Structure 1
Amino acid sequence: MPTSRILLWSGLAALAGGAVLCALGWYGISGERFAERQLPYLASCTVPGAALIVAGAVFVVAGAVLPGPPRERRRPTAPEEDPAPSSDGPLLRVPGGTLAHRPDCPLVADKPEAVAVGGASLAPCPVCEPWPP
């Protein structure tokens, strides 16, 4: 059950309970002539009833303002993508580069100018760590 519904219904229940307590307190006070005899009705019914009315109003407002549960979003289906480059294959380098990369290294994966290392002595890439080849 969403949180906003729980807040809404508990707020309505607190409002109803507070209204009943206030009515009982008023009825009890109305039958007493002296203030000393009215005080127990104030302490046991009217004050807690007023507190429940305030709390219920806060819950109802919070239940109305808070959004419901997040809806699951569907991802649009992407068109067929090319498979990711594989790490199988010869090591690559960019022309004039000093590092040897795996074919799936993000530094050379989409670069058409990347060429095979061949017999060149190059340092290993710190990103893809091609050694041992």
Structure 2
Amino acid sequence: MRTSRLRSVHPVLWAGWAALAAGAVLCVLGWYGVSGERFAERQLPYLASCTVPGAALIVAGAVLLTHGRTTVAAARVEELYGLLVAAEPADADEAGQAAAVPVAVSGKLLMVPGGTLLHRADCPLVTGKAEAVPVDAKLLAGGELGPCPICEPAEAAP
């Protein structure tokens, strides 16, 4: 997935850099031509043929580079999302739908100090974190913590 999308992005990035370089060259040529002429009416052809198109190419190159980098970032986000989302379990039922496998089933509730979510003890977001502590009854009753969308501890709450 990543390589095919990144291959399609590289031409956009190369086109952006090429447009920036060509624009810079045209602007330098226009400046050089204008600087050699004393009268404004003799400077206008250099402005029209070099400087204005050069500035337009610089803007177009900046847009292409921004688009290419945004596409690269989107491809990386999609790749990370693909890594986070579990693949379909092997024991799918006959309808082709996977049986719902709970992520966490523990009844013990934990929280991370300074966090805003309530987690089950075996939730992947708090497993192995030494800073995860049991939930205080006051915080639980006060409704200050929301349920984790991964382990869904709402059923475990006393």
TM range (shorter): 0.5 to 0.7
Equivalent residue for 1:97? none
Q: Secondary structure at the match of 2:33?
A: helix
* RMSD (Å) for aligned C-alpha atoms: 2.6
Q: Secondary structure at the match of 2:60?
A: helix
List per-residue Cα deviations over 1:57-115 (Å, max 9, x = no partner): 011011111223966x694451375x67xxxxxxxxxxxxxxxxxxxxxxxxxxxxxxx
Q: Matches of residues 35-74 of structure 1 in structure 2 within 5 Å?
A: 35-66=40-71, 67-68=74-75
- In structure 1, list runs of 5 or more residues that go unmatched: 85-133
The one-letter code of the counterpart of 2:62 is A
Verify: 1:10 aligned to 2:15, yes or no. yes
How far apart, in 2, do the equivalents of 1:15 and 1:49 lie?
Answer: 8
Equivalent residue for 1:32? 37
The structure with the largest helix share of the pair is: 2
List per-residue Cα deviations over 1:1-41 (Å, max 9, x = no partner): 64322221111100000000000000000000000100000
How far apart, in 1, do the equivalents of 2:27 and 2:36 lie?
Answer: 15
**CA separation of 1:75/1:40 partners in 2, compared to 1, >3 Å: closer, same or farther?**
same
Q: In 2, are the aligned partners of 1:25 and 1:42 still within 8 Å (CA)?
A: yes
TM-score by length of 2: 0.45
Counting aligned pairs with the same residue, the percent is: 60
Equivalent residue for 2:91? 79
How far apart, in 1, do the equivalents of 2:58 and 2:32 lie?
Answer: 18
Q: Secondary structure at the match of 1:12?
A: helix
How far apart, in 2, do the equivalents of 1:68 and 1:29 lie?
Answer: 45
**CA separation of 1:9/1:68 partners in 2, compared to 1, >3 Å: closer, same or farther?**
farther
Q: In 2, are the aligned partners of 1:4 and 1:68 still within 8 Å (CA)?
A: no
Q: Which has the greater radius of gyration?
A: 1
